[in-house]
Structure 1
Amino acid sequence: MLLIFSIFASSQVSDFQNINLQKADSIADFYHGESLTNLPLLSFKLTNDLTTPVEKFRSLHTWVCKNIENDYGFYLENKRHREFFQKDSIKLNDWNKSFQKRVFTKLLEDRQTICTGYAYLVMELANQAGIKCKIIDGYARTPSSNVKTLGIPNHSWNAVQLNEKWYLCDPTWSSGNIYPFGEVSKFVHQYNDGYFLCDPSFFIKNHFPLDTAWTLTGQFSVADFLNGPIVYNSAFRYGLYPTSPKSMQLKLTKNDSITFSFHTDEQIDANKIYFRLISGSHKITAVPEIITQDNGILILQHSFNKSGYSDLHIMIEDQVLITYTASVNRK
């Protein structure tokens, strides 16, 4: 099993850096709004003029992300019922079966769904194109889910086999974001390429599968998943992945300095990164010192000159990428 994991760990989009995916994206855009009533035909249209498996999968994945809406109200309804029935396996199973039918009906009729529908549609279209693809069920980590302790399984994504290797992607979180508009929350399409064939060592930051073989890396535990910093979708959009500190909870003494290390996919302008420390209604913005930025590694340093407890958000352009907590003692 360890040998399998060591092979899987290198599976990421950079394996295909010599293949131009623009044609695949263009085809997906050309068929925007195409009907879901005939999935074999849709899969054919999206892949017929493409040569390599990765191009074909890219076209299918991009089309799903840009044509299907995430129904947040539907997600909340499912979440409430699953939490209510979690101690009654019979009622929970009955709910899952009845809700699953509604998920697929809503997907086909309204082009709206939740993670299960996204993952199903990607899998079905890929399989129609002769590409092996699976639905992976597990835990997604957000500020309100799976922090310190595991809740109930709350997310689904995909694994796809390309050139005899398995890769990971999340079409739901690639498709856009949920934003508050007054008293309601609405979905806004904002394609996020960071989850497409993502490096497993980064994907695991906020995805943990029920079957741990699908971590595609053997060096990450449930404890690592629960206790690490919270990594938001925006971190994947910018290509900024924390490597240390590994624990979300920072315990410090006043005037201590701490270094934060990151892997960067893109050449991020480190000067745009800032820290926002929030303690109750009190907010402080701080600019970290850049120690190193070279060869995909970024190291920042910050000194904690005040005691107390705060949430430490690592930000770019008013977007939170990563969150730690800092408990600073006087001495």
Structure 2
Amino acid sequence: MRRLFIILFFFTTLSPKAQVSDFDSINFTRADNIAKLNEGESLDNLPILAYNLTHKLNTDIEKFRAIFYWVSNNINADDALNSKVLHKRRKFKNDSLAFISWDKKNKKKFFKKLITQKRTVCTGYAYLIKELCFFSNIECEIINGYGRTFESNVESLDLVNHSWNTVKLNNKWYLCDATWASGYLAEKGKFIKEYNDGYFLTEPHLFEKNHIPENKKKEINQIFPLVYGETFKLNIDPILPSTLKLNCKIGEVITFSYKSLNNEYIPSLIQLKGVKEIPFKIFDVQKKNNITSFKYSFTNKGNYDVHLKANNDIVATYIINVE
């Protein structure tokens, strides 16, 4: 436990700039192709799988890429199992020992389902990443905490519901989430496979907007805007407003801004009425040093769910109370 605390302290305080751009000179095509060549391989022997994914690669970053890409593209999210685990977490929210006892009793069953059916929840994804890294001599840890989605932990951190990984490469700790990289759950719990590379070694300031480690809850003094898979896919980091909720007065000018390496994205601000989009007339759009900003002023009182778009994708949501 002490070792994990030291690791978490290190990556959250000493390595804030660790991100995929550190490896801009690396071509991941070979690693991705090796992962694709091993598509459908068995999980019965993890050392062999790790060897097959990494032995032809020269650097730890390429080896980790092959591991992450393979896990994200070969494991499916299990909605029924996820719902069962979340139900138990809610039931035993104030009794961690009871949840641990239930989890321990069912762990073998969950593990068997992962190995035989390649279906699991976030802890299964994180476990596979860590184990394959272990057999490849790459230091990697699992982090448990609060995953913020439009359905959970939106306005406060109520329920520990997610797991992800931190991996050490070139003496820096990097963040990644193979679960959310693998796809998403659609209506009626159907899993849609859709690889999202934005969750591979994500920039920490973006990652922390919807991944909060369990042991960091007491240090969180603000709830960030809600972000989405498209935010990560486009690598857009919302900056202003810095909080999910904002109070303002009629006529007050509000500045919205986000960071992106792609200055070609067209920003817009909308409100949703059912499936209909109602656009706001933004003004003073500026793009400088990878920062896009614009302004808006509300003319009527009320509570607004405001969505920031980049081109056709919603990348952030704010709750604004206009007095």
- Settle same-fold status: TM greater than 0.5: yes
After superposition, residues 310-321 of structure 1 pair within 5 angstroms as 310-316=304-310, 319-321=313-315
- Please give the alpha-carbon distance, in whole angstroms, between the structure 1 residues aligned to 2:11 and 2:51: 32
Match of 2:264 in 1: 269
Structure 1 counterpart of 2:48, one-letter code: L
The residue type equivalent to 2:126 in the other structure is A
Code of the residue aligned with 2:93 in structure 1: it is Q
1:57-111 per-position Cα deviation (integer Å, ceiling 9, x unaligned): 0000000000001112211111111111223344222212123323211111111
1:186 equivalent in alignment to 2:190:
yes
Cα 1:287–1:18 change in 2 (3 A) is: farther
State the shift of 1:250 in Å: 2.0
Q: Which moved more, 1:61-70 or 1:101-110?
A: 101-110
CA distance in structure 1 between the aligned counterparts of 2:118 and 2:45, rounded to whole angstroms? 14
8 Å Cα contact 2:263/2:292 also seen in 1: no
Name 1:91's counterpart in structure 2.
Answer: 98
CA distance in 2, matches of 1:3, 1:62: 25
Please give the alpha-carbon distance, in whole angstroms, between the structure 2 residues aligned to 1:298 and 1:248. 19
Instruction: State TM-score, norm by structure 1.
Output: 0.88
Residue 8 of structure 1: which of 15, 18, 34 is its match?
Answer: 15
Gapped regions of structure 1 (runs ≥ 5): none
Does the aligned pair in 2 maintain the 1:279–1:310 contact within 8 Å?
no
Percent identical across equivalent pairs?
A: 38
Do structure 1's residue 43 and structure 2's residue 50 form an aligned pair?
Answer: yes
Moved more, 158-167 or 114-123: 158-167
TM-score for the superposition, normalised by structure 2: 0.90
Compared CA separation, residues 118 and 31, structure 1 to 2 (3 A): same
1:132 aligns with 2:139: yes
Deviation of residue 240 (structure 1)?
1.1
Contact kept? 1:279, 1:311, Cα under 8 Å:
no
**Could you tell me how far apart the structure 2 residues matched to 1:268 and 1:193 are?**
19
Retained in 2: the 8 A contact 1:142–1:206?
Answer: yes
Q: Does 1:295 align with 2:289?
A: yes
Secondary structure of the corresponding residue to residue 8 of structure 1: coil
Task: Measure the CA separation in 2 of the matches of 1:131 and 1:290.
Answer: 48
Residue 247 of structure 2 is aligned to residue 251 of structure 1:
yes
Tell me which residue corresponds to 2:319.
Answer: 325
Deviations 1:293-318 (A, max 9, x none): 23321112223233211211123465
Q: Which AA in structure 2 matches 1:186?
A: K
CA RMSD of aligned residues (A): 2.3
Q: What amino acid sits opposite 2:301 in the alignment? A: S
Aligned residues: 316
Spell out structure 1 runs of 4+ moving beyond 6 A. 1-4, 279-282
Q: Name 1:209's counterpart in structure 2.
A: 213
- Name the structure 1 match of 2:3: none
- Once the two structures are TM-superposed, the CA of residue 249 in structure 1 deviates from its matched residue by 1.4
Contact 1:123–1:158 under 8 Å retained in 2: yes
